[in-house]
Chains A and B, each alone.
Chain A
Amino acid sequence: MVPLQEGMCPGLDGDLLRSLLAADIRTVEDLVSSDLEDVSRKCSVSYKALFSIRRVLLAQHTAFPVSGADLYEELLSSTAIISTGNPSLDKLLDSGLYTGEITELSGGPGSGKSQVCFGVAVHVSLQLKQSVIYVDTTGGLTASRLLEMLQSETSDGDEQMEALQRIHVFRLFDAYSLRDCLSALRRGGLLQASGGGSVKAVIVDSVSAVISPLLGGKQNEGMSLMIQAAVALKTMAKDFSVAVLVTNHVTRGGGGGVQPGLGASWSHIPRTRILLERVDRAPSGCSSTLRSATLIKSSRQPCHIKEEFDLQRQSRSVRSSSGKRKRDEADS
């Protein structure tokens, strides 16, 4: 059920959309399966215009059968594996984030989801020299932290500035803006947003912050918005060959254990899901930068394998001989 939206194809402008809605044609299916002569009479639009719109919509939304061999060839040529910059996470993810797929990071407050997202953005922008689209819905993106991470990887100021310029940030705070932004990106705005550079990663931090206020109770819109945003992300991932990383909160399940939020419907959307937790080894007074990541859904690795990593030393590059690098030394 794809709703008709303005700008979906040339010729579908605001006035035509309104007259179609008045004639009770809301989705692409309604338009494609209706009698065009009837519709053109009701909406007083030319038959030719409707015919060409229908042809474009059919081309856009029909699934064409592909042979398995072709699919395999396409997979080999278009899929890339993007390292997260964190060797422990790469081990869990079977060497990294796969393009064309959605990967989800869930965890409680302070578990390190945003830090891992920063790490991925910095790695893709600096080491792979590709653009990153970062959609921030929580206000947690701090550019000075990105700069800190860049400074710990390279001491060249120009490289740092260039890497910062390759990270494009969208700041949205409600579900409708998120859906509209993702739809616009999916319909070709990806290249525009990145100013012509090739985008390899799209990070949404976090999806649950904007969607969960609309779920539950007597509201109907929440599920629909969630699925629309999910569809936009999936098609974006496939069509543009980008790796999509989203973050989610956690809720307490029945047995006292934590599980990712947004419910069962969302759980089918990401291909791979990782749960992040704090590791409390020392007594609660001491602060710890250790985090543990558990793989809870994957089509490539056995589930429930766990890895631990230190938020302080996420990057692969080892600068000093001893391997341990204190944070204040890295601050310039």
Chain B
Amino acid sequence: MTVELETANNHGGGEAVTALELLQREKECGSITTFSSQLDRALKGGLPVGKVTEICGAPGVGKTQLCLQLSVDVQVPLSFGGLEGQVIFMDTEGSFVLQRVGDVAAAVVRHFSLVAEDGEQKDAMQTFDMESILSNIFLVRCHDYVELLAELHLLPDFLRDQPRVRLLVIDSVAFPFRQQLDDLSLRTRLLQGLAQQLVSIATRHNIAVVITNQMTTRLQDSQSHLVPALGEIWGHASTTRILLQWEGSRQVAAIVKSPCCMDTAVQYHITSEGFRDVNQPENSDQPEIPLTERRSL
């Protein structure tokens, strides 16, 4: 009795690939640089394309800044090793500030025009300027969780028409679900469905999905800890989890969950140019914004 595996293939594209083919596909996918070389090294190249990454942190630690940085970094031309892709930015908190994106974009353009070497790279710089960067960002403003879920439902059709999208940012996924949902079991179910949708979009359309999450306090043994919000089960949604936190006066990015990288912590800071390493030599002549005057998110 022969059974066709097509029945499995037709339902949701569940085809069997060998791990060797997956390896080749992963090598082709690439990753998105964060512009912090230490964080890129810890992540083995940058944020992986085709996977869901979660960025958690307390307010003001730099989650949206990192998202804005990634939105510009994904557009770096192919000749510089970038992905030359577009980005869909789903904003639920209203934290997308156009001027700030302009600053980050200008800094990235400046950086690459200084390092452009051969003809191909110089040609690429002709079309890689602030206007083109801003025009490749699709901004979606969602006011509540219903709008967010609806947008995600419509996303596959949009992605079919726009095959150049390589990054999807949802900033933040916690805000609409914490404000408006009182029924916790419904919230958990919706979040799990959302998680599976995101994984499916990331894999099928070869997109890096970045979601930001807030922090909440958990009481355990009469001690309180700061843990990522949205519950234990949400922790399973993302493949990689990066925790941004303050350690005294330093800002530290810790990788707390990853399938291929060890748990490491690197230091970073936010400058007027964006998300950067601490003591990066290239920026030593650029003025850094002191921590007290840092722009709040």
Contact = CB atoms under 8 A, between A and B. Distances in A.
Interface of A: 7, 9-10, 108-110, 114-115, 118, 121, 133-134, 137-148, 161, 164-174, 176-177, 180-181, 184-185, 187-189, 192-193, 206, 208-210, 212-213, 215-217, 249-252, 256, 261, 284-285, 287-289, 312, 327
21 contacts: A7-B3, A139-B203, A140-B239, A142-B51, A143-B26, A144-B44, A144-B260, A165-B20, A167-B19, A168-B19, A169-B22, A171-B13, A177-B11, A180-B8, A181-B8, A184-B7, A188-B2, A209-B196, A210-B196, A217-B185, A251-B232
Interface range on chain B (Cβ under 8 Å from partner): 35 or more
Contacts of A148: 260
A126 to B, nearest CB: 11
Interface in B1-45: 1-5, 7-8, 11-20, 22-23, 25-27, 44
B282 interface: no
A140 B195 CA distance: 12
A110 B203 contact: no
Contact of B18 (A144, A165, A261, A312): A165
B261 to A, nearest CB: 9
B189 A213 contact: yes
Contacts of A138: 199, 236, 239
Interface string B139-150: 000000000000
Contacts of A177: 8, 11-12, 14
A320 B232 CA distance: 39
Q: DSSP majority for the A interface?
A: mixed
Given A10-B1, A110-B241, A184 B8 contact: yes
B236 A173 contact: no
A250 B52 CA distance: 20
A143 B5 contact: no
B260 A139 contact: no
Nearest to B186: A217
B202 interface: yes
A164 B262 contact: no
Contacts, number: 177
Interface stretch (B59-67, B107-115, B251-259): B251-259
A215 B18 CA distance: 32
B12 A110 contact: no
A249 B239 contact: no
A114 B258 CA distance: 10
B256 A285 contact: no
Contacts of A188: 1-3
Given A139-B203, A184-B5, A213-B189, A109 B22 contact: no
A259 to B, nearest CB: 11
Contact of A217 (B7, B189, B197): B189
Given A142-B48, A144-B260, 7 more contacts: A137-B196, A165-B19, A170-B16, A172-B14, A188-B2, A212-B192, A250-B232
The 4 closest A-B pairs by CB, nearest first: A109-B235, A287-B263, A177-B12, A143-B23
Contacts of B220: 256
Interface string B175-202: 0000000000110110011011101101
B247 interface: yes
Given A141-B22, A170-B15, A289 B263 contact: yes
Contacts of B233: 212, 249, 251, 261
B125 interface: no
A120 to B, nearest CB: 13
A143 B22 contact: yes
A203 to B, nearest CB: 12
Contacts of A167: 18-19
Interface string B207-221: 000000000000010
Contact of A213 (B11, B13, B192): B192
A7 B7 contact: yes
B264 interface: yes
A287 B258 CA distance: 13
B196 A193 contact: no
A42 to B, nearest CB: 27
A176 B189 contact: no
B87 to A, nearest CB: 19
Nearest to A192: B5
A229 to B, nearest CB: 13
Contacts of B239: 138-140, 142
A169 B236 contact: no
B124 interface: no
Contacts of B8: 170, 177, 180-181, 184-185, 189
Contacts of B192: 209, 212-213
Contacts of A192: 3, 5
Contact of B196 (A114, A213, A285): A213
